[in-house]
Chain A
Amino acid sequence: MALADYKRDMEGCSRCSSCKWVPFNQIKSWRFAKNCPSICRYNFHAYSGSGRMIIGNSILEGRSELNDSVAEIIFRCQMCGACDTACKVYRDDIDLTEVLLELRAYCIEQGELIVEHMAMIDALKREDNVLGEPKARRGEWAQGLGLKDINSETCEVLFHAGCRYSYDPDLRDTLRGQVRLMLQAGVDLGIAGAEESCCGGRAYELGYRGEAENYADDLLSRVKASGARTLVTPCADGYAHLKFLYPRMGKELGCEVLHVTQYLQRLAQQGKLRLRESVPLLVTYHDPCHLGRMGEPFLADWREDKLQRPMSLKRSGRKGIFDEPRDLLTSIPGVELTEMERIREYSWCCGAGGGVLEAWPDFALWTANERLEEAKATGAEALVTACPWCVRVFRDAAAESGLELPVYDLADLVMLSAGITETARA
């Protein structure tokens, strides 16, 4: 596909600005009515989903040209999908996220590159992770856990830790705890250790599609070698790419793909994970974009007139993972959940995605602080989420702004309740 293939999507924009707002039936206040960090931060219409489509259309029609500043506009976006979801509440014939992805790929084709993204891709190529950490240390987190090594053994469940969890020391206890919860439940669990690579999704989001495809092939081969029937990942980003991007690229993993919260919830339902200890805490839950609306599985490509596309094939964001994390959270004795105004498929983004954290960290932190304020407004004692990128940026934002609100990975609370003491942050 090329940008021109999305001309009909772009010229379908009525400029109604629904892409800037929480779906109208769910607007509950003045303060938290908007859904798009980019337009909220930069204000010119060009920074909205609609505005970026208009830019694409304008370029295709020879009205304007791609240059450094236009490329910056295109990339100052977390690719959170809120605009797409909001647009699709009302109409069927525009795939906004796809247009945004296509614009990014077009920038790369045209040599309009963001320096920080280039650095990230270089690191990725060099070390197989987006953080530029040494590849050889990728599996260090699992030392002493006794996990199977899929490079030499088969397993029932392949655990794909993802880049952020593998290297972020602040999240290590959480990651190890997740694994211990599964091991305690008797799960036959394997990892690729140092051989685990990035899923490639972030490269795809940045417009580097060739790299993304290579990493998909890589993971495909690892899954096959592992013999696993289930792949579990705690990385919400990775989850979305495996559920949507891979099948869209024709890369079928041949196994069930679950986010760790889904898997833990399943174990809890089966009685294999017993949540006994009370964790008396009023919490609010942040839906990670890539676990939620962007985590909706790939349905099908529709090459015909999208006005005629069946509703069942429209990527609405509603089929993402929203209930399992909440079920798991509320099954913890003592935990009380209070919801923010923007939740589920109309959740506000944490700010970390789409290459924003790397290129414009101030924008990422601003976005995260917006969310923290929303969380604080619920009266919750803590913010809980289920994505390492979200946890990272929320904690950094809270530290920067001085907003006092503990941020937990959902697994942290599960561990506490299950009596696993590895977590240091509780």
Chain B
Amino acid sequence: MTSETMTQSFETISDEAYRDLEAAVGAEYVSREPGVLDGYTWQPTINDDPAKWVKRPVAVVLPSCTEEVQEVVRACNRHGLKFKAFSTGWGVYSGCTYDNVVQVDLRRMNRILEIDEKNMYAVIEPYNCGAQLQAEAMKLGLNAHIIGAGPACSPLASATSGWGVGWDGVYMSYGHRNLLGAEWVLPDGEVLRVGSLDSGLGWFSPDGPGPSLRGIMRGSAGALGGLGIFTKCSLKLYNWPGPPHMKTEGVMLDAQTEPPEHMRFHLCFFPDRASLDEAVYKMGESELAYIFTRTAVGAYVNTFAPHLLQNVSRTRAFRDVLSKTLKWGCTIILVGNSEDEIVFQEAVLKEIVSGQGGLSMETMQAAAIGPMMVMNFLRVSAIPMVFRAGGLFSTALARNEAWDTQMDWAEKGEKIKQRWIDRGGILDDLADNPFMALYEQNTWGHCEEIFQYNARDPKHLASLEPLFVEFSVAAMEMCMEPLSVTDARLREVISPMMGHYNEWQKKISLFLDARRAADTGMYCDEVDIDLSKIDPEIRETLDRMVAKLTWSEEGPPS
């Protein structure tokens, strides 16, 4: 019976198309029930539409294998439907951007197919989450990169289709760079296997023969579902000299982990930015760290004790302690393969820190913070706690680059956020709340400025799109690729500033997807954006950036 009057209408799928989907995966694994479909439509995270709903798919399917995925894609092609892959599905990127899209929920494809212990890689399916892979890898003395969005996320999705940054990037690189092979259902339903796999030689090498199709598959960001569906991939694993299982009691704030023998957890603080920067460069050159991140005190307090921050931030002295005295810090986990190695690493860290006038506190072996926090860093398990303060958060990231530029981005982000905090547009997290990481035991890194907001506050929700534009413009000003390169609303503006990248993406889309079956909203589409609600000075800056940075026929402006 109808219990409420439906006030909205949506596209529906034809019976014929629906039957084809049933034939592809089995009737039990298809649904067009609106309530079920809305389970894939509610996507509030990193969604600056205050409504938080994205386009509702016309059906959702649950294939169990690559062949079924192919059949679904072919059915979509036959019936003029689009499709969009969905794995663990957190964030607006998983959602549909068109009407008449079939959402392909890959939840039933969830296996770890192989762990090659010697050659350090794992072959996985889409609905395998980071925590699962890490747990199994650790049993073999290996570890898996877990992205900053946390261990619920699919490593396959981030490596093939999303981004791939994490705190462990210093030791375990970046999602895309960890990819050793992929099985890829193209938008026409054919399967393409990337790298040595396609030659029937296994999952060990991702490039060639000759040119690498990995570069068509994705870039610094993935195609976000716009180029097909990835059904398997091979990812690098890394050395893990700790125990097969990190013995932990408790689940989060009560967690206590038994300290592994050769692990140290350091909190370091420096007197100013210059000394922090210098120390980070020295750490990179010394090839230190298993986990590294900037310590954003406001973020930590707002995550682990949001009420505390809300209360103490009213006290100027305490606020100053958090936002000034402890401003320039980093969190480092060192892991050694031997007693001598960990002693060496810790000695170097102490020399670097003291050499920059900093303070270093070991909290794993000697104090309580490490045992409580270490799993939160190794497994990135605390990430959903960022919701505690207001219910939602969003982010502004710019191009990964030299550490100095990332610190510049953090400072810029802090200024932008402070203005929005002052005007009541987002929550107060002391403004300085960057998620930062280093890559590959080197000196290049990542910074995204996190901002938390009240999910139920219309004023906060109204701030989101203006913030999106403002951060994008700020990135342009700083010659950094903004997150919005993947957003249809600003592609038309940004693409000409970056070699018209989107013209190439459109061509790739065309040659792989002649029938336009993939949902390309997050890959190469361009839509208009209403800038009337954007601050005039931001609009003016945007206009100035367009004039200054757009490529001419000769190339970039000098």
Instruction: Give chain A's interface residues, CB within 8 Å of chain B.
Output: 8, 11-18, 20-21, 23-30, 33, 43-46, 48, 50-51, 54-55, 57-67, 69-70, 73, 89-93, 106, 110-112, 307-308, 310-311, 318, 345-346
Contacts and interface: CB of A to CB of B under 8 A. Distances in A.
Interface stretch (B31-39, B194-202, B265-273, B402-410): B31-39
Nearest to B389: A307
Given A46-B39, A93-B391, A16 B455 contact: no
Contact of B88 (A13, A17, A61): A17
A63 B4 CA distance: 9
B152 A89 contact: no
Given A54-B38, A55-B38, A70-B33, A25 B251 contact: yes
B551 interface: no
A65 B3 CA distance: 6
B131 interface: yes
A6 to B, nearest CB: 13
A27 B39 contact: no
A15 B89 contact: yes
Given A25-B250, A43-B107, A62 B4 contact: yes
B52 interface: yes
Contacts of A111: 1
Given A27-B132, A44-B60, A54 B34 contact: no
A-B pairs, top 4 by smallest CB distance, nearest first, are: A62-B7, A45-B39, A24-B381, A64-B34
B330 to A, nearest CB: 23
A66 B135 contact: no
A67 B2 CA distance: 6
Contacts of A50: 39
Contacts of A43: 29, 62, 105, 107-108
Interface string B387-410: 111111000000000000000000
Nearest to A86: B251
B45 interface: yes
Contacts of B384: 14, 16, 18, 89-91
Contacts of A8: 456
A16 B252 contact: no
A91 B388 contact: yes
B36 A25 contact: no
A14 B94 CA distance: 13
Given A11-B456, A55-B39, A66-B2, A29 B135 contact: yes
A89 B254 CA distance: 10
Most chain B CB within 10 A, of A16, A33, A61, A110, is at A16
B29 A29 contact: no
A54 B2 contact: no
B391 A24 contact: no
Contacts of A26: 248, 251
B2 to A, nearest CB: 5
A18 B382 CA distance: 11
A8 B391 CA distance: 10
B392 A14 contact: yes
Contacts of B53: 63
Most chain A CB within 10 A, of B4, B8, B45, is at B4
B451 to A, nearest CB: 14
A106 B38 CA distance: 19
Contacts of A46: 31, 33, 35-36, 39
Most chain B CB within 10 A, of A46, A55, A63, A73, is at A63
Most chain B CB within 10 A, of A48, A62, A64, A310, is at A64
Contacts of A14: 44-45, 90, 384, 387, 391-392, 455
